[in-house]
Amino acid sequence: MFEPLTDSSPMPPDFPEGACNAHCHIFGPREQFPYAADAPFIPAVDAPRQALFDLNDRLGLSRCVIVQSTCHGFDNRVIEDAIAARPQNYRGIALLPVDVPNAELQRLDAAGFRGVRFNYMGHLGTRTPIEAVMTLAHRIAPLGWHLQLHGSPSMLSDLAPAIAQSAVPVVIDHIGRVDAALGLGHADFQALLRLMELPHVWCKLSGIDRITRSAAPWTDALPFAQTLIERHGDRVLWGNDWPHPNHAGPIPDEDDLARAAVAIAPTPQALQQMLVDNPQRLYRFGPLSGHTPS
């Protein structure tokens, strides 16, 4: 179990009011929210909602988007529970089968969900045919939802024709999982930049610690995020990816990640757009409010 953070933890940089952690997860507690029987991975320890609340509160991230993890499968109750505790400031991204009933989509929308994620990473289970995903896109369009796609860099080229025709916005996870060691000119990153020329494609500038070949402050990966924010600052988002599931390297320090978020923004206005304005537009948060401890 993750321990609550204490007042002695180091202070992160100042974030603007309403800053959003737009990509993170929660696991369990497994006694209340069991892991899926066919889960591609089971966390060694739970990472429950209160641990996430504590972290976001300490970092000054008053808004948050929790992404359903494959370890919980299509049972999105773990995120529903977290949103219900902070309904104005927290939103969710679901995992769903493509034949999910419309009534369930409407129920999840009312519960604070704003999109559905599909994984195209080999270690995260069966890949849903992109044709079926795009059919679902037409059904979620009236809700104002979007698709979130997570995959290896080959996804950026392989799925580009379908992404171009999507009926809803498409958010690419973790800078497309490109390899920072290959440089900005590599075909994978160039494929991502071509996708970002489409006005309905967004990108999460999370995961610099996943695409890097170096330690914090991840100087090889920062230019990729900086390029995206400089060229497409109106369609980028940031999240810390807590608690960093399936991480191949050392688990990053949360304060280092917070400092990196500030480092990639060339101006205070760009930081405001990435952390506040863009999430507000995509996730439709309620008026910024305080909260009572949960």
Domain containing residue 145: CATH number: 3.20.20.140
Give the pLDDT confidence of 44-88 residue by residue, as tens digits.
999 999 999 999 999 999 999 999 999 999 999 999 999 999 999
Mean pLDDT rounded to a whole number for the chain? 93
- The active-site residue, picked from 46, 188, 209, 241, is 241
Is residue 289 domain-resident?
A: no
What is the rounded average pLDDT of the residues 229-251? 95
Answer whether residue 241 shows pLDDT above 80.
yes
Return all residues near 7 (Cβ < 8 A) that are at least 6 apart: none
pLDDT of residue 196: 98
- CA–CA distances in Å: residue 2 to residues 19, 80, 105: 23, 20, 32
Answer whether residue 185 shows pLDDT above 50.
yes
Answer whether residue 7 shows pLDDT above 50.
no
Is residue 218 domain-resident?
A: yes
Return all residues near 51 (Cβ < 8 A) that are at least 6 apart: 1, 2, 3, 4, 26, 243
Q: How far is CA 205 from the centre of its chain?
A: 9
Is residue 158 domain-resident?
A: yes
Distance CA 101, CA 105 (A): 7
Confidence at 205, pLDDT banded by 50, 70, 90 = very high
Is residue 220 domain-resident?
A: yes
pLDDT, greater one: 246 or 138? 138
Answer whether residue 1 shows pLDDT above 80.
no
Is residue 7 domain-resident?
A: no
Range of the domain at 272: 20-282
- Structurally, the chain folds into a number of domains equal to 1
C-alpha triplet 276, 281, 283: angle, nearest 5°: 90
Is residue 5 domain-resident?
A: no
pLDDT of residue 5: 37
pLDDT of residue 217: 93
Answer whether residue 109 shows pLDDT above 50.
yes
DSSP H/E element including 24? strand 20-24
Confidence at 287, pLDDT banded by 50, 70, 90 = confident
Is residue 3 domain-resident?
A: no
Is residue 262 domain-resident?
A: yes
> Would the pTM count as exceeding 0.85?
yes
pLDDT, greater one: 273 or 250? 273
Distance CA 36, CA 39 (A): 5
pLDDT of residue 249: 81
73, 97 contact by CB (below 8 A): no
Catalytic site includes residue 241: yes
Work out the percent of the chain whose per-residue pLDDT is above 70: 93
